[in-house]
Amino acid sequence: MSRRSWLKNIAVVAVAAALPAGAASAAAEGGKEKKLAKSAVHYQDRPNAGKMCGMCRYFLPAGGMVGHGMMGPQMMAEGSCQVVEGRISSMGYCDLYTPI
């Protein structure tokens, strides 16, 4: 496990620890049952120092796409996230950002 992956896992555990028991286990498993609230991970609708949902491994574009990244029509699209609830902007950002 790389240092970056380890740090991200620690961030997920730290956020999950602040939530009810059911949400914590779901978050650790990638949100199959219940996702984290935007407020819990400090979600924002704008990038943070060039980091954005469209470049995060957890982002799920609404219409699907081949690959991730900044180029193409998906750049400005909304979608969803594997670990955070609600509609997610590809230009958004949160504490759990994990680059592809």
Q: Which residues bind ligand SF4 (CB under 6 A)?
A: 43, 53, 56, 58-59, 81, 83-84, 88, 92-94, 96-97
Nearer to ligand SF4, 16 or 93 (CB): 93
Q: Which is nearest to 94 in space by CA: 31, 27, 48, 28?
A: 48
Give the nearer residue to ligand SF4 in terms of CB position, either 43 or 74: 43
Give CA separation, 47 vs 1, 63, 65, 75, 80, in Å: 27, 21, 20, 12, 16
Closest distance to ligand SF4 from the beta carbon of 29 (Å):
14
Of 25 and 80, CB closest to ligand SF4 = 80
Q: How far is the CB of 15 from ligand SF4 (least distance, A)?
A: 10
Task: Give the shortest CB-95-to-ligand SF4 separation in angstroms.
Answer: 7
Q: Which residues contact 9 (CB under 8 A, 6 or more apart)?
A: 1
**Close Cβ partners of 20 (under 8 Å, ≥ 6 residues apart):** none
